[in-house]
Structure 1
Amino acid sequence: ANVVSSFYFAKFAHSIEEMLVSPLPNSVILLGFLTGGVARGAAVGVAVTLVSWLFTDLVFHNIWVVISIAVLTATLFSLAGFINAVYAQSFDDISIIPTFVLTPLTYLGGIFYSISMLPDFWQKVSLANPILYMVNAFRYGILGVSDIPLLTSYSI
């Protein structure tokens, strides 16, 4: 939400034009929006983790996997938000991807169940969902259990 709303508002207010005519390379502008999105994702992740520790004994199986997957996931979604904002023509357009793409992929990504519980056909269909690989990498980092090999999750 951070990158898509920030970039779209810059487009809407025409302040992006000032950035584009400045001597900054486009890669620096992209990196600025990307860094803001990753920082917001990290802040929310840390806040949720701290609140979780108040209610449960949260133990990480492998903290480095959790951190690396969190950074990679935040980067991926920040880039996706940036692309969404580039092509959005109205404020309504920025909610199309989260509503009609991300929400179904999230619910079908094995968050609430193990894909091994699905029939063979649906297991194969689930393997086409990139959210599944992120979820399983997090699951491995926290619980030490995963339906997908960790190297496969990193490569996807």
Structure 2
Amino acid sequence: MNFEAIKSIYFFEMARTRRTLLQSVISPVLSTALYFIVFGAAVGSQIQEIDGISYGGFITPGLIMLALITQCISNGSAGIYFPKFTGTIYEILSAPVAMTEILIGYVGAAATKGMIIGLIILGTATFFVDLKIAHPALMLFFMALTAVTFSLAGFIIGIWAKNFEQLSLVPMLIVPPLTFLGGTFYSVNMLPPFWEAVSHLNPVLYLVSGFRWSFFEVSDINPLVSLGMIILFLGLCLGLLTWVFRTGYKLRP
């Protein structure tokens, strides 16, 4: 294992975050703070509690998961797309560095950025709601597993994307609706039976529910099922990347 190569790619990507601090960190944190203000004041005044949890506290895990997924996909895809766009990807591929080492460097950096933003938002939430975490170790584990999984998904999107429109398609047009409809702002048990059944087809529901359980020991889905779903998605991403590396899909001319 070439740890020097992994370290070089990792710190290069982390340095890019420092150069774009306003866009990479401050913007998502401010956007999430607005959710707390708007939904906490408007909806929270009408819905005092859900499952015995204050409304502001109930939506906190979902908002963290929304930011975490979006940022990991965006950072994971941008990390590999820009070397393709500028042509420097061929220098990386021709270097004595294995594809797994390239993957660890880029995905590790994207997951780290997502974790940092998620933890900052968690800290920001304490200014708006009285928050207690029942299982902090499980919360961090679930957050890290989600960050790695969706950074891998972002890496795949970055390889697949032909232009900036395709690059932003998933994090901007697909992830937010799935998150909003995945129990972020409500419990799916509040829905009519038909729509509750439809909601179970939304993969984000399992992520939000499992993450919420680590906070309050309350969720719409069994936490073991939620954990199994994220592990399944992780396996699918690794399997797809294995095929990409073997075939050189959109990496080699």
TM-score computed with the length of structure 2 as normaliser: 0.59
The change in CA–CA distance for 1:51 and 1:99 in structure 2 (over 3 A counts) is closer
Give a deviation string over 1:13-40, Cα, whole Å, max 9, x none.
Answer: 1111111111111011111111011100
Structure 1 gaps of 5+ residues are none
Letter in 2 for 1:7: I
After superposition, give the CA deviation of every residue in 1:71-116 in whole Å (9 maximum; x if it has no partner). 1111121011111111111112111112332122111111011111
* Of 112-121 and 98-107, the range deviating more from structure 2: 98-107
- Contact conserved, 1:65 with 1:137, CA < 8 A, in 2? no
Distance 1:42 1:99 in 2: 19
Unaligned runs of 5+ in 2: 1-73, 230-253
What is the identity, as a one-letter code, of the residue corresponding to 2:156? I
1:43 aligned to 116, 130, 150, which one? 116
Deviation string 1:30-88 (CA, Å, 9 cap, x unpaired) is 11111011100111112112222344432101112211110111112101111111111
Q: Separation in 2 of the partners of 1:97 and 1:47?
A: 23
Residue 95 (structure 2) aligns with: 22
Instruction: For 2:76 and 2:172, locate their aligned partners in 1 and report how far apart those are by CA, in whole Å.
Output: 16
- The residue aligned with 1:120 is 193
Q: Distance in 2 between matches of 1:40 and 1:13?
A: 23
Partner of 1:2, secondary structure, is: helix
Tell me the equivalent position of 2:225. Answer: 152
CA distance in 2, matches of 1:9, 1:62: 38
- Contact preservation (8 Å) 1:137, 1:153: yes
Residues in 1 aligned to 2:127 and 2:105: alpha-carbon distance in whole angstroms: 34
Q: Which residue of the partner structure matches residue 164 of structure 2?
A: 91
**Pair 1:81 & 2:154 matched:** yes
Q: Which residue matches 1:5? A: 78
Aligned equivalents of 1:49 and 1:116: distance in 2? Answer: 25
Give 1:60's aligned residue.
133
Q: Residue 139 of structure 1 aligns with which residue?
A: 212
Instruction: Figure out how many residues of one structure are paired with residues of the other and give that number.
Output: 156
4+ residue runs over 4 A deviation: none
CA contact (8 A) 1:59 1:142 kept: yes
Q: So what's the TM-score if we normalise by structure 1?
A: 0.94
Amino acid aligned to 1:155: G
Matched position secondary structure for 1:3? helix
Structure 1 position 130, deviation (Å)? 1.1
Alignment counterpart, residue 143 of structure 2, candidates 70, 74, 89:
70
Between structure 1 and structure 2, the one with the greater Rg is: 2
Per-residue CA deviation, residues 124-143 of structure 1 (Å, 9 max, x unaligned), is 21111111011001111112
CA distance in 1, matches of 2:124, 2:191: 32
Q: Distance in 2 between matches of 1:139 and 1:82?
A: 27
